[in-house]
Amino acid sequence: MLITHDTRCSLDAVVDLVNTVPEDDAAADGLPDVAALQDFVRNHDISGVGMLSEFDLSAVRKIRGRFAGIFAAADARIAAGMINELVAAAGTTPQLTDHDGYDWHVHYFAPGASVADHLAADCGMALAFFVVAGEQERLRRCEAPDCRRAFVDLSRNRSRRYCDSRTCGNRLHVAAYRARRKEAAG
């Protein structure tokens, strides 16, 4: 599956956005305030965003929950319906652009769109490409029992199971190894 630079940026943004959702009631929100949203926008080079407000924060948190639902969708039909609703509500207006040193790419948000509509349109379309390609199962959650972070499995054979093999994957492999050694010892 060909993934263009702008699609990859949108995938990275949507995964990071979904992963700001608190794991439970005791966990801190990854987007606690407008300053955190500004950092998110800056870290993801989200263009065309002006001054952010509490209204923007609230709107981004709402679409964040909807994106989390897409990663949890049981099948492509459910994911497609959720993506269609997000993208339609964002007032999608595809435009070719070549800004900030990037070659031609497509922005799906309307000029002057809010940051929430910007994310809903661009990230929604990035996820839509996976559904269209029959690759919706690549939108996953980490299989580590104590982690449910979202990720996009871009491995060739769709075999990635953990959000990060160096942390979650390695931790589980070490635990399994220790359990085998303990059982062998007796």
pLDDT of residue 23: 81
User: What single letter denotes the amino acid at residue 143?
Assistant: E
pLDDT of residue 98: 86
pLDDT of residue 63: 97
User: 120 and 87 in contact (C-beta within 8 Å)?
Assistant: yes
The rounded Cα 159 to chain-centroid distance in angstroms is 19
Residue with structure tokens 């926008």? 41
Question: From CA 160, how far away is CA 178, in angstroms rounded?
Answer: 22
pLDDT of residue 172: 67
User: 83 and 128 in contact (C-beta within 8 Å)?
Assistant: yes
Q: Measured between alpha carbons, how far is residue 105 from residues 10, 53, 57, 101 in Å?
A: 12, 28, 27, 11
pLDDT of residue 166: 73
Residues of the chain below pLDDT 70: 165, 172-173, 175-176, 186
- Give the containing element (helix H, strand E) for 65: helix 54-72
Question: From CA 51, how far away is CA 58, in angstroms rounded?
Answer: 14
pLDDT digits (tens, 9 = 90+) for 124-155: 999 999 999 999 999 999 988 888 899 999 99
